[in-house]
Chain A
């Protein structure tokens, strides 16, 4: 009989080899679907690479897709580190975008630097509130945060729907249900397709690296994630730590709402998240909740997303194919984790191991 036993922590090199093999296997499998869709898989995969790196403009588009994903992933990572399943990044993102738009509506004439600064603060606060509420109930009553944050996504979405179709509907859009575009003094400055949110992302990455690995509160979050009893025993204030982690986690996701509204879409809409809040959960998880890997994986996913939108136009392949390929790659990577964490032993060798 074969048994499964837990392995020692795998080395980084082994991880990379296993992950890459999983991606290759997934692409081979996904080729079947590509063939059904009537395209040549090899050409299609080359097309994805060209769509991401083929020109400065396309590379800028790749980076533009990476930035929100990266910051969202860092956001959920903080909560995950504490074993707090924040799957509400979508909602926090939306609320951040709502806060951003609210600033412009209340104070439309602020000068650009002041406007951006205020937007960052307000979007952070809006996103943070959207996570502090479930965090409070988790700390106080043990309310299931996975389900709570999931529900808050849809509550945020209906709020944005109501804003878009009723309260903030642009009267100048001739009946189209949309919210008015932001004025020029509320848009992130950009140059040849690269906008200021890249700089924000770099600062956030450095700050988060410090926060998670060097700061006292980062350490407390990690201890709390390992064991609540240990945390209490060494005198960590559990409720306070949960609330602070929720503040940072939700706040970062909220700031993404600001970056996307002012830097990419130019207006709040129900479509603004594009499901990135869910993708970020997958990115953070696959990165083992480590900042450098989050950066690498966000880039890898951005390549997939940008490549997907490129092949849609270049190969006339429906976007749904790209969605399926993405899911298949994820299935394979999730499955490959098993190889990294467990190994098989037969009954004979078992006694030697013990």
Chain B
């Protein structure tokens, strides 16, 4: 039974990672490596909390968080798409900005409680039928609506990327913008749309932490989870379905490092926190050794597209 609780907690811990990872997958699919995930999550977390605290309305809180994340992403988007700035450097700067932003605007809210109206709205709800499945029901279908929405997003993003014309165009822009441009796809529009969507999802991931995961606003609510999300994108090989599994696996590792503290172990508990990164490194190496291109990063990842005059 204890193990079921552990897995339920792992799903909850993995959900913030899942939102951010789905976002970064979309951004990388369009060829933009955005290392500002941490910053966008921080912006979403703080804006979501402030909006929730001020208005006491969960919808307003979540929408504000998504807008804040998207706003951060658009700074990155404007610099890298329109002004052709280096993606790595711009992303890192966005992370510095977001961390500063959250620390500054969140400073007066440290120690404040999430309002009742929001906590009850996001309290775990057992789904009919599905929630009665033994074990699975308890783990996956006795969760917050915020978690259920992430299930829906995985499916929606999978359909968007692989079953729609827009998704096909998005992937084409990430693989070969020259060819995409030549075939009449508005490259910049696709980039802006996907990058903004990435920001909104990262903002939602951050707000999950500040509105659902914790009950009292701490000094740094995201504290490095954005970087784990960047790792997860690789671990999931740019696939939304695998992102779901990976997020819960990484969530489980996160919980495990607390959970295992009650036992005396032969190794240091702190080394556990390195596992997500080690696992990612192995995935990175194995995917590059295997030459199958559908499991690798998009071909133009990290490179900007400059339309030469013809």
Are B278 and A155 in contact (CB-based, < 8 A)? yes
Are B309 and A3 in contact (CB-based, < 8 A)? yes
B133 on interface, CB distance cutoff 8 Å = no
Partner of B83, one of A161, A327, A328, A335: A335
Shortest distance from the beta carbon of B156 to any chain A beta carbon, whole Å: 26
A337 on interface, CB distance cutoff 8 Å = yes
* Complex Cα–Cα for A123 and B95 (A): 28
B89 on interface, CB distance cutoff 8 Å = yes
Shortest distance from the beta carbon of B50 to any chain A beta carbon, whole Å: 14
Partner of A338, one of B83, B88, B93, B95: B83
A-B contact count (CB 8 A): 153
A87 on interface, CB distance cutoff 8 Å = yes
Are B83 and A337 in contact (CB-based, < 8 A)? yes
Are B97 and A146 in contact (CB-based, < 8 A)? no
Given that A150-B227, A162-B270, A327-B100 are contacting pairs, would A334 and B306 also be in contact in the complex, using a CB cutoff of 8 Å? no
Q: Is the interface of A mostly helix, strand, loop or mixed?
A: helix
Question: Which residues from B are CB-within-8-Å of A162?
Answer: 268, 270-271
Are A148 and B274 in contact (CB-based, < 8 A)? no
* Complex Cα–Cα for A33 and B88 (A): 25
Partner of A155, one of B96, B277, B309: B277
* Size category, B interface: 35 or more
Question: Which residues from B are CB-within-8-Å of A5?
Answer: 309
Report A289-323 residues with CB < 8 Å from chain B CB: 318-323
Residue of B nearest to A284 (CB): B89
Are B273 and A161 in contact (CB-based, < 8 A)? yes
Are A137 and B227 in contact (CB-based, < 8 A)? no
* Complex Cα–Cα for A264 and B282 (A): 36
* Complex Cα–Cα for A163 and B14 (A): 27
B101 on interface, CB distance cutoff 8 Å = yes
- B interface, CB within 8 angstroms of A: 33, 35, 75, 78-79, 82-86, 88-90, 92-97, 99-104, 107, 224, 227, 230-231, 234, 268-271, 273-274, 277-278, 280-281, 284-285, 288-289, 297, 301-302, 306-307, 309
- A interface, CB within 8 angstroms of B: 3-6, 33, 37, 85, 87, 137, 141-144, 146-148, 150-152, 154-155, 158-159, 161-162, 165-167, 275, 278, 281-282, 285-286, 318-324, 326-328, 330-331, 334-335, 337-338, 341-342, 350, 354
A–B complex contacts, Cβ < 8 Å, 23 sampled: A6-B306, A137-B285, A143-B284, A146-B33, A146-B302, A147-B231, A147-B234, A147-B280, A147-B284, A152-B281, A154-B274, A155-B281, A158-B271, A158-B273, A166-B268, A278-B96, A285-B86, A318-B103, A318-B104, A320-B101, A320-B102, A334-B79, A335-B79
Among all A-B residue pairs, the 8 with the closest Cβ atoms: A323-B100, A327-B97, A320-B103, A158-B274, A162-B270, A324-B100, A338-B83, A320-B104
9 further contact pairs, Cβ within 8 A, besides A85-B88, A162-B270, A278-B96? A37-B104, A144-B301, A150-B227, A162-B268, A275-B96, A324-B101, A334-B93, A337-B84, A338-B84
